[in-house]
Amino acid sequence: MKFLRPFFLVAFASTALAADPIKVGEYASLTGKEASFGQSSHKGLVLAFEEINAAGGVLGQPFELLTEDNQTKPGESATAAKKLIARDKVIALLGEVSSGRSLEAAPIAQANKIPMIAPAATNPKVTQTGSYIFRVCFIDPFQGTVMAKFAKDDLHAKRVAILSSVSNAYSVGLAKYFRETFVASGGEVVAEKNFSEGDKDFRAQLTAVKAENAEAVFVPSYYTEAALIVRQARDLGITVPFFGGDGWEAPQLLEIGGAALDGCYYSTHFSPQNQAPVVQEFVKKFKARWNDETPDAFGALGYDSAYVLADAIKRAGTTEGPKLRAALAATRNFAGVTGITTIDANRDASKPAAILAIKDGKLSFYKTVAP
């Protein structure tokens, strides 16, 4: 049982001798139900900051990463953000993977004029909170469109069922965007069922879905429920493909889902099998740093968010709130491991999506979809 110390005062700050460290705050779900997400993005962030500091830091100063664990609990992210901003006086906030938890901290960052970069929160509402909130990933309207097109063009499905979580901001949003695009392009949503986070039994909903004879089923939820849903679906004799969004991205997905997941797909931000040199470099460095662990989308996005922040500080020439904010908003064509990041007028990033397929219990890269 790993005992994670909430405070990761990174030791390399000392290498810059007398220079004051630049304090950056991170809040993530390092423990709790969605620990997989938080730990992934955390590892990406730490790797990035270590590299940046080894290269001399930014503006001659090293970074100091202060991490708070929100334990995947609602309400904790707000407290963590307040503490990092008010007590630790961080100049920027990095977090989170979950849209719901990002929405907790965003108003606090906004009120205090501290820029916040969410590595992987995809619900549009996050950046709508205010001018200081940014993200380096695509948003759900895009992801929903990608999967709607995928269902129509690749799965050749005209009749699709949707199974979404009613207690999860991400799931509700993604389902909505998928439905809008899919219906607009001539498809039919034959059934739409809901469940709650933490539910284990989906047979009731799946039986109803089965009766409607859908050609494919969209499950825009997190991996914990998605894996169980697909398993139970196979048990009930539903053989059509299931597909989902980036919430499926976690090693436990395959662990829990097992053979049931064969023939399923999901969209995400990054694929370690992408042969582009910058991606393979990153995969190598990540594995070397973190015990031969292959990075997933959240590790990659965490890594990129750190670099985007550093780049903005360099361009702004200062860590002062309003100037840093302006520099972040002006980020154009930043080349990262998850693709080219350009921050648009809504402070969102327009990034390509990678669709992964699951075959024989392994993930394989299916295709990239550009915005």
Binding site for another protein (CB under 8 A): 1, 5-7, 31-36, 69, 71-72, 74-75, 78, 82-83, 86-87, 100, 103-104, 106-108, 111, 125, 129, 165-169, 172, 193-196, 198-201, 203-205, 207-208, 210-211, 224, 227-228, 231, 235-237, 252, 255-256
Cβ proximity to another protein, 40 vs 331, nearer residue: 40
- DSSP assignment, residue 5? -
Q: Strand 216-218 vs strand 242-244: parallel, antiparallel, or unpaired?
A: parallel
Cβ proximity to another protein, 239 vs 275, nearer residue: 239
Cβ proximity to another protein, 168 vs 319, nearer residue: 168
Q: How far is the CB of 119 from another protein (least distance, A)?
A: 19
Q: How far is the CB of 327 from another protein (least distance, A)?
A: 25
Nearest to 122 by CA among 148, 145, 96: 96
Q: How far is the CB of 336 from another protein (least distance, A)?
A: 28
Cβ proximity to another protein, 45 vs 169, nearer residue: 169
Q: How far is the CB of 233 from another protein (least distance, A)?
A: 10
- Sole residue written with tokens 């790797």: 47
Q: How far is the CB of 251 from another protein (least distance, A)?
A: 11
Q: How far is the CB of 91 from another protein (least distance, A)?
A: 16
Q: How far is the CB of 277 from another protein (least distance, A)?
A: 34
Are 215 and 188 a contacting pair, CB within 8 Å? no
Question: How many angstroms separate the CA atoms of 236 and 309, rounded?
Answer: 48
Query: CA quadruple 343, 346, 348, 350: dihedral positive or negative?
Result: negative
Query: CA distances (Å), 104 to each of 41, 76, 100, 127, 175, in order?
Result: 18, 8, 7, 12, 21
Are 215 and 158 a contacting pair, CB within 8 Å? yes
- Sole residue written with tokens 């969004």: 245
Question: Phi-psi category of 8—alpha, beta or left, where left has phi over 0 and alpha has psi -120 to 50?
Answer: beta
Are 268 and 353 a contacting pair, CB within 8 Å? yes
Cβ proximity to another protein, 231 vs 289, nearer residue: 231
Are 321 and 91 a contacting pair, CB within 8 Å? yes
Are 203 and 233 a contacting pair, CB within 8 Å? no
Cβ proximity to another protein, 87 vs 284, nearer residue: 87
Are 286 and 294 a contacting pair, CB within 8 Å? yes
